[in-house]
Amino acid sequence: MDKTLYRNPYFMIYLTGIFISGLGSKLTTIALADKIFSLTGSGTYITLVYLLQGLPALFFGLIAGHLVDRHSKKAVFIMINGALALLSTLLAMADHPLILFAVVFLIGMADAFYSPVSTALLPLLVGRKQLASANGLKISVIGVNMIIGYAVAGLFVGFWGHTLPFIVDSFSYLFIACSAFFLKLSADHPEDVLENKGHFKESLMFIKNQPVIRRLFLIDLLTQFIIALQIPLTYIFVSEYLGGKDVMADRTGILFSAAGAGMALGGLFLKKFAQRNKLRLLSHALIFDSIFVFAFTLNRFFPATILIYGAMGVIGAFMGSLLETAVQENTPQQMIGRVSGFIHSIADPVSILSLLIGSLLVQFINVQWIFLICALAECVTGIYFTLRKGVTLQSRK
């Protein structure tokens, strides 16, 4: 890891915000599920909440990215965190399911801005040569959040109920917004973005005509669909093959914590591969991940499964930070918001759709076969892009 990053106070402020925001989001996730169940008496509506939160990205992702590119990234980042602070407070106050669902939809709209502004902000905080290390460290922090976040959130909601967590999350967003006032960016003033007057058509044409971005988008889309399909099915797999219903919740939690530990470790590896062809690395990572998914599906010894899930977390972190870095390096600074917004506008809804498809498939197909199909799909995708020639990933100077 590049030690100069730790001496960059602005990047450390950004990273602290990622950590605090992650903890707050875990609190909201657990508290929201608890509140929906208490208001409706049915867990079915929890799926509806995921749909409502993910749906706005489909319609507003590109618009959000366009606005991020046209305005100060710092100002947009502050305003989005301020809006999320207000919406978290409204979640605490909502006393009717329809009001709750409306607020969740608004949070989804704000989230549509969060991904592109966060992606566009990072290159203005660190040098281009440090992007790989910065993204790796960022995803490592997300992994640490995954290890401790849900455990802390579960205890917090169990002890204090579902109202206080929303207030705590609101203050976390306020803290991030206030901290962002102190960020010093390399270029983030109106005069730096006035030249960027392209419309949506030009943005889409850029993505279409850039083979690197196009292939990155396809890999991200396929990966999001395949991996998201597996997440809810892990509970069923543990119940049927790794101990039974009595230990399902505990063992699944252990597996997700192992994946978080793997993410925390995997993000630190990216620096070593910063100068490699990232498209080729992504393809190879897919193949390796498919091998571990095969191993997970066939293994029945739970301690070994923990190690396998940890390895999958390492690869997942590596792939996530690779994708983020590749987009930042191969897109002009004035278009990063739109490119990121477009990718998330498709990939995020696909992930939610994949969750629903997985829930339906398990009614007709044995869960073990679904995992095997996912592993095969990953392997074929990785081999396909490994064999494709003529496109390399080169950093823009």
pLDDT class of 291 with cuts at 50, 70, 90? very high
Between 207 and 319, name the one with better pLDDT.
319
Between 80 and 235, name the one with better pLDDT.
80
Between 186 and 259, name the one with better pLDDT.
259
Between 155 and 93, name the one with better pLDDT.
93
Residue 199 has pLDDT above 60, yes or no: no
pTM (predicted TM-score): 0.77
Dig out the tokens for 93 from the structure. Answer: 């106050």
Distance (Å) of CA 254 to CA 259, 260, 396: 9, 10, 41
Residue 194 has pLDDT above 50, yes or no: no
Provide the pLDDT for residue 196: 47
pLDDT class of 81 with cuts at 50, 70, 90? very high
Provide the pLDDT for residue 376: 92
Residue 304 has pLDDT above 90, yes or no: yes
Between 389 and 327, name the one with better pLDDT.
327
Dig out the tokens for 136 from the structure. Answer: 């790796």
The average confidence (pLDDT) of the chain is 80
pLDDT class of 189 with cuts at 50, 70, 90? very low
Calpha distance 301→279 (Å, rounded):
34
Calpha distance 288→268 (Å, rounded):
18
Angle between helices 131-160 and 302-329 (to 10 degrees): 130
Residue 390 has pLDDT above 60, yes or no: no
Provide the pLDDT for residue 85: 92
Dig out the tokens for 229 from the structure. Answer: 């399909």
Least confidently predicted of 111-115, 342-346, 389-393:
389-393
Highest mean pLDDT among 66-70, 288-292, 319-323, 353-357: 288-292
Dig out the tokens for 257 from the structure. Answer: 């914590």
Mean pLDDT of 231-240: 82
Assign 3-class secondary structure to 290-312. Answer: HHHHHHHHHCCCHHHHHHHHHHH
User: pLDDT tens digit string along 22-78?
Assistant: 888 888 877 887 788 777 776 566 667 777 777 777 777 778 887 888 888 888 999
Provide the pLDDT for residue 42: 62
How many residues are given for the chain?
Answer: 397
Q: Are 251 and 238 in contact (CB under 8 A)?
A: yes
Provide the pLDDT for residue 192: 43
Q: Are 66 and 85 in contact (CB under 8 A)?
A: no
Q: Above pLDDT 90, what percent of the chain?
A: 9
Beta-carbon contacts of 75 under 8 Å, excluding residues fewer than 6 positions away, are: none
Residue 370 has pLDDT above 50, yes or no: yes
Distance (Å) of CA 220 to CA 57, 156, 350: 16, 34, 10
Which among 228, 316, 222 is positioned nearest to 265, based on CA atoms? 316
pLDDT class of 321 with cuts at 50, 70, 90? confident
Provide the pLDDT for residue 11: 87
Residue 365 has pLDDT above 90, yes or no: no
Provide the pLDDT for residue 395: 43
